[in-house]
Structure 1
Amino acid sequence: MNKIEAVLFDMDGVIFDTERVYLEHWIKIFKKYGYEMKKEIYVSVMGRGRENIMKTFVKIYGENLPILQMYKEKDQLLVQAVKEGQVPMKPGAKEILNFLKENNFKIALATSAKKDRMMMQLKIGKIENKFDAIVCGDDITNSKPDPEIFLKAAQKLSVNPENCVVVEDSPSGIKAAYSAEMMGLHVEDLKKADEEILKYCHKSFKNLLEIKEYINEYYTV
């Protein structure tokens, strides 16, 4: 069992309850333009980065899908929702971050979100100073399931990949952690653990408090 020195967190669906709001907005916007967004389609692209998501949606719905305009509207709705406090932190988020700090783990945020929206959410949640390193969508070339984002975060922390834990809710994020040779811990959000997630993650949990207890039991001195 490797020594764990750092914990890397995804943001949307892990630290903040963003994915549910995302899905609600996509359903409304797709309906407005005469299309139907289904939960299983959205879940399949979670965490994969904007370019990959747009390509997937166009592939599914056709070349006439006005995806750029739809994304613009979605971004506006999400910013408004964040500002109005409609995107709460996930249960246990502050507790696990404080616990890791108190026990001298290094902490990184590794999110596909763009920097402006990421910083807005961190400041509203008053957790912008909890992370020793941050890597966001602006900092990477390849989106999850490519491991680039996690490898960059580990590099910023000066920690070897095999000594990192990744907390993720999406299949693409869990695959990215696996490809980075890091221990992936899945936390349920819109996506419950299926065969694919269980194949690539070390263990799946219902919430962040369960992950906190797991790390406390097995990885603290």
Structure 2
Amino acid sequence: MMSSCARASVAVRASSVTSTTSKNMCGARRGAVRACASNTTNARFALLFDCDGVIVETEELHRLAYNGAFEHYDVRIDGERVDWVVEYYDVLQNTVGGGKPKMKWHFNQNAWPTSSLFPTAPTTDAERDALVDALQDQKTVFYKKIVEEVAEARPGILELMDEAIADPTIAVGICSAATKAGFEKVVNSVVGVERLSKMDVVMAGDDVTRKKPDPLIYNLAREKVGLPASKCVVVEDSLVGLRAAVGAEMNCVITPTASTASADFIGEGAKAVFTTLAGVKLHAMFPNEATEPNFKF
């Protein structure tokens, strides 16, 4: 129950948040991100990046945004405000992929809460879905504001991405479990529209019916780039993402965050673990004339 967790202060207040609108790209529908100017011809390999935790260390930003949404709607279990402290969120993010699944898992494990939306805890699937949908929408508003103010790329990530984009034999993509609105804010702000327009595949959690650790998003990415799984390398930061990649029979390398560093990634099938991607070079992973990716460097 949440009563066993110490309360943490929430850094985001409803009064400080303003909504933003995602930019269109290459004639895509409003809110959509898609590639339109890929440089790839006769791809030998594919390099697929997760977003949260890989491109940007966003998990603390997500945690604060969830807590902001819980406060906004006065979400309570047994009279105590729901508040995800750091230690609990570290476990949660390594257990469940995607925002709505996280909340449903938490409420199912503890109790469905009361709120300003439902003064009596919801009991039907429709009511529970409505509560989670509203919380996710408000969380996204908070999250986009935080990203706009503080998000920055992890060391080495954009350099590796640029090398891959420039190599016509490497297909490049981003595959995230995050809700599209929050995902777009991160990639538009940090990766940039120009890089995104040159990618072969860009997918968010809303683009699939089952989120990580289900391998669906990576199976669909493989179909889009037209390569067998053995030719695809996924960059992830968590066990949830690793399990999705392994489930798709893809090679996976890990660049862990502080909250995921203690996991046994190699034991779960990762090919390599890099504390940072700074200094990791594309040609070392995909040597000229190689028929398989290389991870011994």
Q: CA deviation at 1:97?
A: 0.6
| Cα distance in 1 for residues equivalent to 2:142 and 2:107 | 21
- Partner residue in 1 for 2:139: 74
**Residues 168-213 of structure 1 deviation map (CA, whole Å, 9 limit, x = unaligned):** 1121110011111101111111311422564231111112225x33
Q: Report if aligned partners of 1:97, 1:130 keep a CA contact under 8 Å in 2.
A: no
Residues 113 and 136 in structure 1, CA contact (< 8 A), matched pair in contact too: yes
Deviation (angstroms), 1:53: 1.0
Q: Does 1:205 align with 2:252?
A: no
Measured after TM superposition, the shift of residue 59 of structure 1 is 2.4
Q: Which residue of 1 aligns with 2:57?
A: 17
Q: Is the 8 A contact 2:68 2:142 kept in 1?
A: no
Which 10-residue stretch deviates more, 47-56 or 148-157?
Answer: 47-56
| Contact 1:174–1:197 under 8 Å retained in 2 | no
Report the Cα distance in structure 2 between the residues aligned to 1:156 and 1:53, rounded to whole angstroms. Answer: 28
Deviations 1:10-57 (A, max 9, x none): 111111222121123335555764234233432334371233212211
- The question of 1:39 aligning with 2:86 is answered yes
Could you say what secondary structure the match of 2:113 adopts?
A: coil
Q: Structure 1, residues 64-107: CA drift from partner, whole Å, max 9, x if none?
A: 265635434322110111233x1212221210111112333111
Q: Do the aligned residues in 1 keep the contact of 2:100 with 2:136 (CA within 8 Å)?
A: no
User: Are residues 1:220 and 2:284 paired?
Assistant: no
1:198–1:204 Cα contact (<8 Å) kept: no
Deviation at 1:115, TM superposition (A): 2.8
Residues 185 and 193 of structure 1: CA distance in aligned 2, closer, same or farther (over 3 Å): farther
Distance 1:131 1:43, change over 3 A: farther
Instruction: Give me the CA root mean square deviation.
Output: 2.5
Q: Which residue of 1 aligns with 2:161?
A: 97
Q: Give the corresponding residue for 1:173.
A: 241
So what's the TM-score if we normalise by structure 2? 0.65
1:144 aligns with 2:209: no
| SS class of match (1:209) | coil
Question: Counterparts in 2 of 1:77-88, with a 5 A limit?
Answer: 77-84=142-149, 86-88=150-152
Between the two proteins, the alignment pairs up a number of residues equal to 216
Output the amino acid matched with 1:19.
E
TM superposition score normalised by structure 1 = 0.85
The unaligned stretches of length 5 or more in structure 1 are none
Could you tell me which residue of structure 2 aligns to residue 111 of structure 1? 176
- Counterparts of 2:229 and 2:157, CA distance in 1: 23
Contact 1:171 1:197 in 2 (8 A): no
Q: 1:17 touches 1:90 (CA, 8 Å); kept in 2?
A: yes
Residue 186 of structure 1 is matched in structure 2 by 254
Change in 2 beyond 3 A, CA 1:25/1:50: closer
- C-alpha distance in 2, partners of 1:121/1:96? 18
1:64 and 2:113 aligned: yes
Residue 154 (structure 1) aligns with: 222
Q: Secondary structure at the match of 1:195?
A: coil
Aligned: 1:49 with 2:106? no
Instruction: Report if aligned partners of 1:119, 1:128 keep a CA contact under 8 Å in 2.
Output: no
Pair member with larger Rg: 2
Shift of residue 4, structure 1, vs aligned partner? 6.3
Contact kept, 8 Å, 1:4 with 1:164, in 2: the verdict is no
Q: Report the CA distance shift for 1:195/1:120 in structure 2 as closer, same or farther (over 3 A).
A: closer
Aligned-partner SS, 1:175: helix
- 2:207 is aligned with what amino acid? D
